């Protein structure tokens, strides 16, 4: 999962497919300020969070739940990107750590 937080725009984009989708996108903006992007086959490819530094977790989770998205992973990517503004942050979600 790749996330980028634009500190000037206070907006974040999280790619939820690997490799990141580069083609045309459609957006479901019903969950503003959390928008879900889909490709031409309606596959979810990304999540945009506007006012990412102020949008509460429960607002994000409510939209993600509507789409069956991994809220824990996406919130972790959001938090990491907020801590490293204007840089690309990559998070491997679902990987286990060897003890």
- Whether 20 is covered by a domain: the verdict is yes
In contact, 80 and 89? CB cutoff 8 Å: yes
Q: Which of the four pLDDT bands, split at 50, 70 and 90, describes residue 99?
A: very low
Q: How many residues does the chain have?
A: 99
- Whether 83 is covered by a domain: the verdict is yes
Residue with tokens 């984009």: 13
Instruction: Assign 46 to helix, strand or coil.
Output: strand
Count of domains forming the chain: 1
- Whether 49 is covered by a domain: the verdict is yes
Residue with tokens 């957006």: 27
- Whether 97 is covered by a domain: the verdict is no
In contact, 36 and 43? CB cutoff 8 Å: no
- Tens-digit pLDDT profile for residues 78-88: 999 999 999 99
Q: Note the pTM of the prediction, 2 decimals.
A: 0.88
Which pLDDT score, from 0 to 100, does residue 18 have?
86
Please give the Cα distance from 3 to 92 (Å, whole number). 11
- Whether 99 is covered by a domain: the verdict is no
Q: What is the dihedral sign for C-alpha 59, 78, 46, 86?
A: positive
- Tens-digit pLDDT profile for residues 8-62: 999 999 999 988 889 888 988 788 999 999 999 999 999 999 999 999 999 999 9
């Amino acid at each position: 999962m790749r996330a980028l937080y634009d500190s000037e725009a206070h907006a974040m984009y999280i790619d939820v497919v690997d490799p990141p989708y580069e083609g045309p996108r459609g957006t479901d903006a019903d969950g503003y300020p959390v928008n879900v992007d889909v490709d031409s086959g309606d596959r979810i490819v990304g999540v945009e969070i506007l006012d990412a530094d102020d949008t509460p977790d429960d607002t994000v989770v409510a939209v993600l739940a509507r789409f069956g998205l991994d809220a824990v992973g996406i919130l972790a990517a959001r938090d990491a990107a907020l801590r490293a503004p204007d840089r690309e942050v990559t998070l491997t979600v679902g990987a286990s750590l060897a003890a």
